[in-house]
Amino acid sequence: MKYSKESLLKEKIQHIDITTWNSVPLIDSFEHMAFQARNLARSCKLYHEMLQDTNCTVILCLAGSLISAGLKKVIVDLLTHNMVDAIVSTGAIIVDQDFFEALGFHHYKGFSQIDDHQLQELHIDRIYDTFIDEDDLRVCDMTIKEIADQLPPGTYSSREFIWHMGDYLERNKKGKNLESMVYQAYTHDIPIFCPAFSDSSAGFGLVFHQHEHSGAHVAIDSVKDFRELTTLKVNAQETGLVMIGGGVPKNFVQDTVVAADILGVDVPMHKYALQITVADERDGALSGSTLKEAHSWGKVDTGFEQMVFSEATVAFPLLANYAYSKGAWKHRQAKRLNKVFAESIKKHV
């Protein structure tokens, strides 16, 4: 069957709103069940405990196609309600998905049983049952180039560059209610780290930028990212990890404990940790490795850790809504870590 581009890019993905319902009775009943229901209930209570712990800095780790699947507002609500203090993410989530939508573009409901050759001819990219306009993605690529073109040449951490992305949205969109994690992190002084930043639309834009400015250009320094995030851990001391998916963000944030030790700075292991993943631990890969396994590396403490083997579009909204509905966030003091970052770097590491 032949499709037109207009017929396929018709129904937009709608982002779920965790502020309009209450999962607490459901999660409390899960606690008396078994398997992943019970694991999810325990992870919800751990997240609530993190938010109650006034000494705990909460770090949200994100991997996978989350925003394209309808989870953008979940993350935005965590930011705007002071339920997250820092983010470590893949570049695709930040640039191809969130920043992409902040520019006014959309992800669309699609289906997996389709001729992908036809999609390629129509300039439509597919993420399982979701469609994206490739032409719109190219605009996103070039917007990253535009931002880089306007910055002084030099090396930047991904955190610094993403701050400038938020500043771009502030200067060009003028909307404090813009539902974008990049923008809301910018306005709430919440740092976002992307240790593999170039593995995204940012990479295409920065390649073009460096091609045109080969003598003096903007470059992303992943070692500076590591140093900054280690500095965050040193200053925070007590930390809690909320990990959606695995991959580089999971490993990157866990490694800060070891990095600090190598630098001769004594920091505790991450006190709290929970992970939602569908990855399997039996192949030895990081995404499915258990948090108990991370303890053997000296990264995650035991006692307040929980694995949930579930798909993120199902489990993440329940986790976030439970913590939102319990309301511990109402009594937290915003850390605004981006604002204090420059001084923190001078003190440590």
Question: What Cα–Cα distance (Å) separates residue 304 from each residue in 11, 39, 157, 201, 329?
Answer: 41, 12, 31, 36, 19
Within 8 A by CB and 6+ apart from 242, the residues are: 47, 50, 58, 59, 60, 61, 84, 274, 319
Angstrom distance (rounded) from CA 231 to CA 348: 6
Residue 303 burial (C-beta neighbours within 10 Å; 0-12, 13-18, 19+): exposed
Angstrom distance (rounded) from CA 40 to CA 336: 29
End-to-end CA separation in angstroms for the chain? 60
Dihedral (CA of 294, 238, 247, 196) sign: negative
Location of structure tokens 């490993």: 251
CA atoms within 13 A on the CB side of 346: 3
Question: What Cα–Cα distance (Å) separates residue 152 from each residue in 34, 164, 213?
Answer: 55, 12, 11
CA atoms within 13 A on the CB side of 327: 1
Pairing of strands 192-193, 86-89: parallel
Within 8 A by CB and 6+ apart from 346, the residues are: none
What residue spans of 59-108 are helical by DSSP H? 72-80, 91, 100-102
For 159-197, letters b (16+ CB in 10 Å) and e give bbbbbbbbebbeeeeeeeebbbbbbbbbebbbbbbbbbb
> Which residues are tagged catalytic?
299
Rounded to 5 degrees, φ, ψ at 86 are: -160, 160
Closest alpha carbon to 308 in 258, 246, 256: 246
